[in-house]
Structure 1
Amino acid sequence: MDVERIQKINSLALDLLKQGLAADREEAVTQAEKIFRHKDSEDHFQSIRKNVGETGSLSTGMSTPAAQTSSLSQDSIQAILQQNTTFVVGKFKEFGEKIAALEKEINSLKTKQLYGNSAPRGGDAPIRDGNTGATITPPPDQARGMKQEQGASTSHPRVGNYKNDDVSIEKIFYMGSK
């Protein structure tokens, strides 16, 4: 075997592995060798046909092996095509399932976003879970904590709950008797 043929067999074996037509590396190599042997034998038969056709002495014994190899090649082609179609159909189904799962996840995130933004405005509005469809109400302690935080923030001086006398300039900077 020459180096070029070995490289072709290895590349074909890798392609067979990638396509899922072979279970392991050894099986892929044997299949690739069979394909190249079959291809070489077809080339050999074609060259014999040309030589015999040129001389004009075609024997009937030579035509039957060529017919058998072509039928074998049809069977192997059918098997390979069947494996390819099952592989492709399986991949399409897998991708379809992944797409459906992603769409479901997107829809659940949209509903969580929608109810997550509207819940603080509405107070103690129940939140509907996108995955199970059940309504979830926030715990009362959490709701009270949010109301207390809102109440504490309104009395903060930066919010505007102060009088002019509390922050008058004369009160702060004047140093002396009035």
Structure 2
Amino acid sequence: MDNVIFLFFAGFDTTTNLVATGCAALLSRPDVLARLRAEPELVPSAVEEFLRFDAPIQATARLTRAPIEVSGRRINANRLVVLLLAAANRDGRRFARPDELDIARTPNPHVSFSAGPHFCLGATLARLEGAAVFDRIARGLAGFEPAGAPVRRRHMSFRGYDHLPARVRLGAFPG
């Protein structure tokens, strides 16, 4: 039972922020929303792109256990290293057109859930829940549009919204 509770909390902020930033992206880009509605099979790659484009977790920190070298610079043992996941997700050496939201981007090797032994335990849950939400937006809403100014949450590491007003009309999207 402890593992189930841990998994729930591990994926909560990531999922909440993924859904909020993905919805904000769709609300501010009617062309992307129209494409997702026209091609709902893009939902899984759209989830990955929302994660890359506006990462739910912007940064994380690690403590070096031994001296390491990164890009020709030595980092001594027992040093705190801040990893800017969101910046890595916009690296032009890794991503073509990194500042463009492309819901069909493949491959999409973002690091929004970190990597290796520190990979987010809630990643699978966040992806599943995000896919459910964005599939509903793509296939099951007659309308999805802004209803006011969004207000970003003020937090150094977590990227989300305090308010994201949207007008939603239930029913299948006409078209």
Q: TM-score, normalization: structure 1?
A: 0.20
Of structures 1 and 2, the larger Rg is shown by 1
Greater helix share, structure number? 1
Structure with bigger RCO (C-alpha 8 Å, 6+ apart): 2
Greater strand share, structure number? 2
